[in-house]
Structure 1
Amino acid sequence: MEWMQGPETAGPAQAVRPPNVIFILADDLGINDISTFGGGMADGRVQTPNIDRLAAEGALFSTAYSGTGTCAPSRAMLMTGRYPTRTGFEYTPTPPGMSRIVPMFANDMKTGLPPTEQVKENEKLMPPFAEQGLPTEEVTLAEVLKDRGYHTVHIGKWHLGNTSPFRPNDQGFDESLDMASGLFLPPGDPRGVEARLDFDPIDKFLWARMDFAASYNGSDWFEPGGYLTDYWTDESLKVIDANKNRPFFLYLAHWGVHTPLQATKEDYEAVGDIEPHRLRVYAAMLRAVDRSVGRIMEKLEEEGLADNTIIVFSSDNGGAGYIGIPEVNAPYRGWKITLFEGGIRVPLFMKWPGTIQPGTVIDEPVAHIDLMPTLAAATGARLPSSVEIDGQNLLPLATGTGPITRPDDALFWSSGYYKVVRAGGWKLQVNGRQQKSWLFNLNEDPTEQTNLAASEPEKLAELQALIDAHWKDAREPLYPYTIESPIKIDHTIDAPYVEGEEYVYWPN
């Protein structure tokens, strides 16, 4: 496809031109999927050398968190630097039929868990799918950088609204190559290998409803030019080439490694004889994401842009338990669709040659809400005066020039009645439907094994007060939840339910 072309020759010297920004976001990537942290897929048989290299050449935030435990609200926080208590963007947009079909599939499986429920009274209050998006009064990172003179490009998943005025082009992006649906290749395509998950209701919904399709700047759908991860990378290289003589912001939001599990035959063969089949396909998908990171870094070096480009890599949330691969978030408990560490601990790496020293490791807790103000500061862009930003500029940490100060040292997460705070090394999870609290001392118990809610009443009250204060004047969600799902904490969805094992209710 044809991208908008920047100047044919360079303007100001690269040394004084504001840095280019490339943000690469993986989808549902487990913390243990990346070999940087000492793990890697299939007991370390599948490494991520390109992502590892990116982590080693800049700052590694060892205690980084997503905005929440699911896709869309986390992306909203990443783009705006604001909590749902301000934006109202609390729940992932729900396409027609999903709140009926997913509970039906889930309950037919008779897992032993309490039923997944369709909240019919909330269905009546739900706006049409086309009206479920990030409000236009919110100011995105793309808008801030565009005002600074950047050419702004989105490639991949958006998930913040698929019609005007919520599309990427309405939210600050000059160009958008959007994931119009959700297949990596057409079903049964000879170029690919797939793994269908009979135990996962979400997988059944995706295979039934998704297409292999893309859209450019709101155009009619068209078929992507290859396996989605590779195609988006191919187009990203074209974007870099088209904009090498002007400041640009590229937001490459990969669909990998989200379900449906589809990989290329080449990657499937390359990862070797791994069992079970779904793990091999998943590992092959991860290999494609890692290759994407490597190709982008190589392109920057070829064009002489590497020294003046900030690259950020992260994932929108933790790995999913519904893929049936237990080790994705090891050693942490929980999955995507929970707020245990496994659901919200994510990789966060930032490379900026000459400004961030290679091998920098930062242990202080940080989160996706911090990325918008951080990248604004790095580029000299102005933060909006019309809205309050919750995130903090992380550059002092990344460059070793000073600490950051966060009110009450607190980070917050939520999905409806499920609310969480981390402050001072302690973490409190409260689920209103279950009337249950989990209190953990993460300094001593980073994998959340011992619930201290009963034995530490003063700490429980202290953190509960932070939760109460954070939500005291919160904006109402833009639309209600329509599904309530019990999510196991310690076992993947395919494992039989053990009587008495812990689960958490998640409303969306």
Structure 2
Amino acid sequence: MKHLLFLSGAVLTSALTSQAAMRIVYSENFNDFSITSKTNGVHALGGASAAVTYREFFSSTGLVNDTGSTLNFTSDGVANRTRGAGVWLDTREWSPGTVTVTFDISGFVAATGVDSGSFLQTYTASGVDDTNAVGVDIHGSFNGGVVLSGTATSSTLGDSTAITADGTSLTHTFTYAGEEEIGLFIVHQAVNGDPGGTSAAFSLDNLVVVAETIPLPVQPNIVLFYVDDLGQQDIQLNELDNLCPYDTPNITKLASQAMNFTSGYSPAPSCSPSRAAINNGQHPAKTRFTHVSLDDVDDGKSSQLLIAPYLELQIDRNLLTSAEALAANGYATGHSGKWHQGLNAANYGFQTVNEDRGAHRGMSPDRLDPDAFASDTNASYPLTTERYFPYSAEFPDGIRYPVDEVTDSAIAFMDANKDGPFFLNLCHWMVHWPVLTRNEDLLKYYCTKFGVIYDSDLRDSMGDVKDWTTPGQTNPYFGAMVTTVDWSLGRIVDYLETTDDPRNPGKKLIETTYIFFTSDNGGAEQHGQEVISDNAPFKYGKTNPEEGGVRVPFVVSGPGILADSEVHEMVNQLDLFPTFLTLTDTTIDAADYDELSGLDIAPVLYGEATQVLDALDKPRDFLFWHFPHYSHMKSSLRSGDYKILKSFETGVYELYRLYDGLDANGDPVRLDIEEANDLVASTDPEDVTALAELTAMIEGAFVDYNAELPYLNPDYTGVDPATVAAPDVNTFTGETRLAELTIVSSGPKIVEASVLYRGGPTAGKTDVVTDEFILGMREPATTSVDGYTVSAVIPESITAYCFLLVDENGYMQFTSEVSSPLLVTVPDALAHWPLDEVSGSQAADISGNGHHATVTGAEWTVGVDGGALYFDGGADADADYVVIPVGAVSGINNQISIAMWVYGGTTQPAQDSVFHSRDASDNRIHSILIPWSSGTVVWDAGYDSVADASDRVSKGTDAAIYKGVWNHWVFTKDTTEPAGVGSMVIYLNGSVYDTDTGTYPMSGMNTTWLGSGKDATLSFEGLLDEVMLYDVALTGAEVATLYASYTLPSDYQTWLLNYPGLSDVTFEGDPEQDGIATGLEFVLNGTPTESGEVILPQVDATDENFTFTFTRSADAVPFTEQIFQYGASLSGWTDLNITEPRASEVSLGSISGGLQPVTVTIPKSMAVDGKLFGRLKVLSVVD
């Protein structure tokens, strides 16, 4: 049976106030009580002797349960008959030690006799009267106890048993050795053949069992099992009107060992804000992180009256997170699965991070493709060897599941960290869109269950996979997703149940681990035409602040938590952070704790309280949701039985009464959880009072949480421009980095302003951010007293910004973006080799310092900006390299920056040296390999003669990073800052790629090469362009500005093929292997509207004309016009218009792969010194 923690307030208060450190471990108010199985609970006893093991005489004889809440016992007229009530506690999960168990027996009174209505009973030694006693049971035998007397303290157990003087409680203290069961029995026995006696009946009411100093695990583990878009009605646990058709046996099993909160809520009706709120413990409205992180500065549409607040790209890294707090207390912290909070989880205190999608990756070309399902032959998605639920006629032995990275990495983290406490944040990508499953057998199972024919009913009349449009909980794909999540939970629990806890010998990890199972928001009911599920009877779903959008499963298991219990108190995932702190005995600064928006629910979990209380021991008064997004733009608040919603577009309130108090069993009386009957206009006094109180609450919440409300849209049709603030002059002063914006003083003034960082360092999804200020951040700007000037100091690392303005009339707007090179000035280079010479053996230095380099073997071609050099990686007999003069490097010591554009080829997969330098003693001072062996980018810098070693930064990466694509690499080293450790940083395309420390000096650089190592070893294969050398360590902002100063040739993918003189070499530029070996080959696919320029390399004249040949897909839409340009240099071009024939008009000849050749011929007379360049630009296409 469910154990309901809704007891009589007087009884509970009495128990708790008299025993300060107690936990309720069992409670029963006897409403609709009945005899149950031999589990934790109350049992009636009957038998010839109280000495008999109580498990041997369970009986309902003499037990009467009236319609009220009193458990009554009467004599059946048999002599020497024992009658009683007992509570058995399964304490086998308790740790050994001294235990005090207190039983509240204030409800025990005599029903008849001289002591009717009194706790104390008359006891006559001669036995002419009945005997009533309270006893404590160990190991199932009624070994001893005390007669019901306020002063009796006897016990045959050798421990301490006592009843309080006023007869309200019995306390038993004993040494607990483990693996024992404890019982309390209140016994009435008729003796000496007198079945009637003078106290022939007694009753028991509101029995509360409280345990003090129950040993709990020290630093228990925490597992947060977080599901995406799982509604409360999507599992077989909180079923209301209809049974849930999705099989979730593991969730149900967990709930049977846990506490289930039927009024569990997410902090927000959408993904990111809920996750962030759990992470930092603060309400989404308070952190202004109320929806999916977008960094969206688009203006509103003309049809929108309101526009949503701006959302930052990531959550504030300065907010303390639960992972950081637990890590400081010695916890290993690990995240597996979906993060969705902008930056990688490693930026927020997680030491082990895996954000793979697991089995929920998209399926191509569709969700019924046979090759996309998991199988024994699918290397990317294999199946488990074990079989699991469900079992059916079609699958009597169960079903195998796709191996899931999210689950496996979570188990691997626990296993690697089980020697110490751990915090696992397991966040599934399921059951979020796309609705699909790689488990074909499970999909077939649900098709059979739902009466769907696999797979014909899943396709339309043309045989294409169709959207599922049948209403309700009928989607077989979604059912498979839900059960897959349940399977994952089962694997996590199974690992914990079967794995020994090294810190607690004799125990399994499950005995020292708390599991929190919940979801980020209510269920998503529909996506486009696809019907996903149904939250009924709750209203709406995800992205709505009604019940269907925020009501979620909420189950907690672990040591000290009453199994199979149900609580109807409102709880929110905001409560997890403070609860984690209590469960793990973790402390944080008081200032940080005061910022937490949730409440500690540990007292409820332990049974110490039946209500969620705040710091002043006052019950929670409301929960609040703020969602100023999409067209509905609403906020809501629930207090007690009532819920209020506010629409920002209309300003109208809605009021609903979800429940009408509690029934006799302590269950909420359902009234309008459908939110169908708006009571705003009700004249009922209760409703009128509720409307006034909740209106004040929600308006107060906007203020208390500093909630950002929707703004008026200045682009809305009909808005008078005179009512909107008008930005005037936007200036930036480089010396002070002060950005200043003036507003036209004849119009509205500015009341709130922020500066948005639109360019600067980023870390993507994999790295930890080291910069204080990064792309996507929002910082407060200063508004002048008169409201007509806005200013902000822009950090040096930021390369672009704009202002967000809110004027006095409530209109929000964004200013134009100000970007580099205005914001950052890059220092002058010590040497700059643009490699634009076209021919010859000299690479000119254009820095003005005259450090011209010498070219050997490398061939001139076209690069990022003008020319470039091609290095063949040792493909021919002659080595390719460039020698940098000693004068360019000899003065470098403590600081250096090396910048270059690199396009790696694929003929040589590794050992590609792009920069190498040695001193006069042949000691290596620098070595940059992109890549070294095993695909590792390596930079060795500096040399220490004592250690005979260099400082090193290295990072393994995918070949796609450095092969077949232009990338801008910058390598900086400063041996003096930070003091004592120095720094080395590798930048890739303007952002930090990897970092390390480094103090070894770089003095004495002598012989230095580009494109090769010492003595032409480790030869590079590919192109180098725009090589720069600095005797300072560039900052991140300077690197970003340098990168932004270049514009890569924008086109469809460009292929390296047939550099001059290399017609016998096959490059990756020939993906179709069609053998074309003239000019630069590339393939044009699809229907582009316009492309940028694609530069073809120069070609030597062999006959009377130059011939440039490229290829395009035969089935691509023909182009209306192309412009081919040719020139003898990269600075002067002549147009040659081409009208391309349609595919059907071109003979493909012997070309394979569905490609057509397009050939352009230029007269030889156009060349200079026998050299000519060509480039192509596509202008438009035929629809």
Q: CA deviation at 1:350?
A: 0.5
Q: Distance in 1 between matches of 2:337 and 2:598?
A: 24
Q: What does 1:409-428 align with in structure 2 at a 5 Å threshold?
A: 409-416=621-628, 418-428=634-644
Instruction: Name the structure where strand makes up a greater proportion of residues.
Output: 2
Q: What does 1:42-191 align with in structure 2 at a 5 Å threshold?
A: 44-94=244-294, 132-162=313-343, 167-179=344-356, 184-188=361-365, 190=370
Q: Distance in 2 between matches of 1:236 and 1:87?
A: 29
Q: TM-score, normalised by structure 1?
A: 0.74
Q: Distance in 2 between matches of 1:365 and 1:289?
A: 25
Q: Distance in 2 between matches of 1:21 and 1:480?
A: 41
* Structure 2 equivalent of residue 215 of structure 1: none
Q: Distance in 2 between matches of 1:19 and 1:81?
A: 20
Aligned pair count reads 418
Q: Distance in 2 between matches of 1:468 and 1:45?
A: 40
Q: Distance in 2 between matches of 1:229 and 1:432?
A: 46
CA contact (8 A) 2:276 2:315 kept: yes
Q: CA deviation at 1:330?
A: 2.0
- Helix, strand or coil: the match of 1:251? strand
Bigger shift: residues 32-41 or 440-449: 32-41
Q: CA deviation at 1:474?
A: 3.9
Q: Distance in 1 between matches of 2:514 and 2:525?
A: 32
| CA deviation string 1:302-340 (max 9, x = no partner) | 112110011110000011122444753122111111111
CA contact (8 A) 2:360 2:430 kept: no
Matched, 1:432 2:612: no
| CA deviation string 1:254-284 (max 9, x = no partner) | 0110001120213212334234754111111
* Structure 2 equivalent of residue 263 of structure 1: 437
Q: 469, 473, 476: which one pairs with 1:280?
A: 476
Q: Distance in 2 between matches of 1:442 and 1:116?
A: 35
Query: Which structure has the higher relative contact order (CA within 8 Å, separation 6+)?
Result: 1
When residues 252 and 412 of structure 1 are mapped into structure 2, their CA distance, relative to the original with a 3 A threshold, is: same
- Helix, strand or coil: the match of 2:591? coil
* Structure 1 equivalent of residue 487 of structure 2: 291
Matched, 1:338 2:544: yes
Q: CA deviation at 1:37?
A: 1.9
Q: Distance in 2 between matches of 1:477 and 1:180?
A: 33
- Helix, strand or coil: the match of 1:472? helix
Bigger shift: residues 431-440 or 51-60: 431-440
When residues 397 and 481 of structure 1 are mapped into structure 2, their CA distance, relative to the original with a 3 A threshold, is: farther
AA aligned opposite 2:590: S
Q: TM-score, normalised by structure 2?
A: 0.33
* Structure 1 equivalent of residue 563 of structure 2: 358
Q: CA deviation at 1:192?
A: 4.4
Q: Distance in 2 between matches of 1:48 and 1:471?
A: 38
* Structure 2 equivalent of residue 311 of structure 1: 515
Q: CA deviation at 1:476?
A: 5.8
| CA deviation string 1:373-392 (max 9, x = no partner) | 11111011114433311111
AA aligned opposite 1:64: G
Q: Distance in 2 between matches of 1:371 and 1:250?
A: 13
| CA deviation string 1:71-122 (max 9, x = no partner) | 111111222221123222122112779x89xx99xxxxxxxxxx99697x77
- Helix, strand or coil: the match of 1:382? coil
Q: Unaligned 5+ residue runs, structure 2?
A: 1-95, 97-214, 375-379, 384-400, 459-467, 469-474, 500-507, 660-670, 714-1183
| CA deviation string 1:427-483 (max 9, x = no partner) | 10001103322101111322212110111444222111111211125436599999x
Q: 701, 711, 714: which one pairs with 1:470?
A: 701
AA aligned opposite 2:231: G
Q: 572, 587, 600: which one pairs with 1:367?
A: 572
When residues 183 and 60 of structure 1 are mapped into structure 2, their CA distance, relative to the original with a 3 A threshold, is: closer
- Helix, strand or coil: the match of 2:569? coil
- Helix, strand or coil: the match of 1:349? strand
Q: CA deviation at 1:419?
A: 1.7
* Structure 1 equivalent of residue 555 of structure 2: 349
CA contact (8 A) 2:273 2:292 kept: yes
| CA deviation string 1:350-372 (max 9, x = no partner) | 0103x102111111111111111
Matched, 1:401 2:575: no
| CA deviation string 1:24-75 (max 9, x = no partner) | 111111211101123799x644320001111111110011111111111111
AA aligned opposite 1:345: R
CA contact (8 A) 1:66 1:344 kept: yes
Q: CA deviation at 1:17?
A: 3.7
Identical-pair percentage: 30
- Helix, strand or coil: the match of 1:94? coil
- Helix, strand or coil: the match of 1:146? helix
- Helix, strand or coil: the match of 1:133? coil
When residues 182 and 418 of structure 1 are mapped into structure 2, their CA distance, relative to the original with a 3 A threshold, is: farther
Q: Distance in 1 between matches of 2:241 and 2:408?
A: 25
| CA deviation string 1:108-156 (max 9, x = no partner) | xxxxxxx99697x77xx957xxx51110121111111111110000011
Q: 245, 250, 256: which one pairs with 2:419?
A: 245
CA contact (8 A) 1:184 1:228 kept: no
Q: Distance in 2 between matches of 1:401 and 1:447?
A: 33
CA RMSD of aligned residues (A): 3.4
When residues 224 and 414 of structure 1 are mapped into structure 2, their CA distance, relative to the original with a 3 A threshold, is: farther
AA aligned opposite 1:305: L
CA contact (8 A) 1:80 1:140 kept: yes
* Structure 1 equivalent of residue 496 of structure 2: 300
* Structure 2 equivalent of residue 5 of structure 1: none
* Structure 2 equivalent of residue 390 of structure 1: 597
When residues 169 and 67 of structure 1 are mapped into structure 2, their CA distance, relative to the original with a 3 A threshold, is: same
Q: Unaligned 5+ residue runs, structure 1?
A: 1-12, 105-114, 195-222, 483-508
Matched, 1:451 2:683: no
Q: Distance in 1 between matches of 2:313 and 2:382?
A: 29
When residues 331 and 126 of structure 1 are mapped into structure 2, their CA distance, relative to the original with a 3 A threshold, is: closer
Q: Distance in 1 between matches of 2:712 and 2:276?
A: 17
When residues 463 and 96 of structure 1 are mapped into structure 2, their CA distance, relative to the original with a 3 A threshold, is: closer
Q: CA deviation at 1:193?
A: 6.1
